[in-house]
Amino acid sequence: MTAPAALVTGAARGIGAATCRRLAQRGLHVIAVDACLGEEQGRFAGAEPADLDALRAELGDRVTTVRADVRDATALATGIADALAAADGLRTVVAAAALIDGGDDLWSTDPAVLEAMWRTDVVGVWNTAAACVPALLATADSGNGASFVAIASAAGDRGLWHLGAYCTVKHAVVGLVRGLAADLQGRGVAVSGVSPGSTATPMLTATAAIYGLQDTSELARDMTARAPLDPDDIARVIETACLAGAVTHGSIFDATGGLGA
């Protein structure tokens, strides 16, 4: 591995996989991290090992795949360190691993629903930052730009019916981005977030199931796009956030397709 590295969590499918493709096209060596828990993830199954294998087959020697759970700080840090040992520095990190659940009023929601999303969607981003920021700072110290991008959600700045726990954790992701940006002010690592709207991924299919919908297009009716966004559309925004430099620092990019406009 001679190219600088880009690390992406939640990489096996959806927005994460689309981001891996874009960053590989930009000449970065992608470290694709995913737990690939399948049905072990909960009532809405996660990616399967075959999904990560397919990404590796597609990108070839432009990718290194790592099976690691972002909830496990020690295992995640070990997997990342092993992958980075052969890299020419770490240029950018995209924390995209997440899950969704809900379907009830907040006061009727099983606390386990909030706990599961908190551990993956928030603590997972925290663990990723803790494992990667030292390497990003080393890249910045060498005179090269570095960046950290967390994937939030339209739920990060508004309320969504029967998704109180999901709104809670995605608001927390926005807060994490802002706190990390404050810590890294003036240190050469640009920190930002990207908030997607309804995007044609397995997570959107899970959201439709939460609402008892057969057609995910109904979830896009309040977007000016009027249809679920393509994962590559979101990956294009993430790519910009990763590579645009200091101008992005502290920003949360709205990629909601005009939700509520």
Q: Quick one: tokens of 109?
A: 């929601």
Catalytic, 166? Answer yes
| The residue type at 8 | V
Helix spans in the chain (H): 14-25, 49-59, 73-84, 111-117, 123-141, 164-183, 202-210, 231-243
Measured CA to CA, the distance from residue 45 to residue 25 in angstroms comes to 29
Cα distance between residue 81 and residue 221, in whole Å: 43
Catalytic residue among 166, 176, 188, 256: 166
* Pairing status of strand 5-9 against strand 29-34: parallel
Both tokens assigned to 77: 């840090």
CA distance 171 to 153: 8
Q: Which residues does the annotation mark as catalytic?
A: 166
